[in-house]
Structure 1
Amino acid sequence: MKRRGVLNAELSGVLATLGHTDLLLVVDAGFPIPRTAHRVDLAVTEDLPKLTTVIDLVADEIIVEGVVVAEDVTTHNKPLAEWLGKRFPGVPTTTRQHAEMLNELAHQAKAIVRTGAFNPWGNVGLICGVDVPRWFDEPGVIVPDYYQDRM
């Protein structure tokens, strides 16, 4: 039996497939997931599980180098925007129009994880990265300038 972290077999498997620059969407209960998307449906009932709970668990298992949210989060859902800023300090956050989140990003995501969240604009894209200090720890390997701030 797995001891800790994500116990859901399907979600754990999806996380294991993620590579550098892959996009994982963690979404609310009402997100219109495309039929062609790899869907991991965790929703049980209203706010079970919560969006922030799932993001916390996922973020403990992957490297997140970018966060994407709808523009409306920064103006109309400040609690979520503030929580994301605290959860991912120093990680660049970009915004997209809500329609882009529902369409273009949904089709670009490697997988979409549906939560039970009843949270307006509660759809968060996590862009996967690499553990820079571990990738560049060999003697003689030069760290490029664009990774220096992550060392």
Structure 2
Amino acid sequence: MKKRGILNAPLSAALATLGHTDLIMVVDAGFPIPPGANRIDLAIAENIPDLRTVLSLIADEIVVEGVVRADDVVTNNPRLDEWLQSTFDDAEFTTRTHADVLGELAHQAKVIVRTGAFEPWGNVGLFCGVDVPRWFGGEGVIAPDYYAAKL
């Protein structure tokens, strides 16, 4: 039996497939997941599981280089935005329109994880990165300028 981390087999397996620049979305209970998407449905009931719990568990398992959320999060759900900024403090943050998050971004996602969250604009995209010190910290290896600050 697995000792810790994500115990849900489909989610654990999906995370293992992610590589650099892949997008995983963690979404609320009402998100319109596109047909044919790699959907992992964790929703059981209202706020079970909640968005922050699922994002925290995923953050412990993957390297997140970028976070994208609807521009409405910044203005209309600032507590979520503050939590995201503190949880993913090394990531680059961007915003998209709510319509883009529901449409274009969702179609780009390699994996979409549905939570039970009843949270306004509770749809977050995570772009996978690399562990910079482990990839570029070797003797004689020169990190590109865009990674040098993370060494």
Asked if TM exceeds 0.5, the reply is yes
Aligned length: 151
Alpha-carbon displacement from aligned partner over 1:66-100 (angstroms, at most 9, x marks no partner): 00000000010011001001111132110000000
1:15 corresponds to 2:18: no
Matched residue type, 2:21: T
User: Paired residue for 1:63?
Assistant: 63
User: Paired residue for 2:123?
Assistant: 123
CA drift of 1:144 comes to: 1.1
User: Paired residue for 1:4?
Assistant: 4
CA drift of 1:147 comes to: 0.4
Contact 2:65 2:90 in 1 (8 A): no
User: Paired residue for 1:108?
Assistant: 108
Distance (whole Å) between structure 1 residues aligned to residue 94 and residue 111 of structure 2:
19
Matched residue type, 1:149: A
Partner-residue secondary structure (3-state), 1:13: helix
Contact 2:66 2:93 in 1 (8 A): yes
1:143 corresponds to 2:143: yes
User: Paired residue for 1:34?
Assistant: 34
Partner-residue secondary structure (3-state), 1:25: strand
Partner-residue secondary structure (3-state), 1:68: strand
TM-score, normalised by the number of residues in structure 1 = 0.98
User: Paired residue for 1:89?
Assistant: 89
Distance (whole Å) between structure 1 residues aligned to residue 90 and residue 133 of structure 2:
16
Matched residue type, 2:91: V
TM-score, normalised by the number of residues in structure 2 = 0.98
Distance (whole Å) between structure 2 residues aligned to residue 117 and residue 37 of structure 1:
19
Partner-residue secondary structure (3-state), 1:83: helix
Give the ranges of 4+ consecutive aligned residues of structure 1 lying more than 2 Å apart after TM superposition.
none
Give me the identity figure in percent.
66
Distance (whole Å) between structure 2 residues aligned to residue 148 and residue 136 of structure 1:
9
User: Paired residue for 1:132?
Assistant: 132
User: Paired residue for 1:43?
Assistant: 43
User: Paired residue for 2:79?
Assistant: 79
Matched residue type, 2:95: T
Matched residue type, 1:109: A
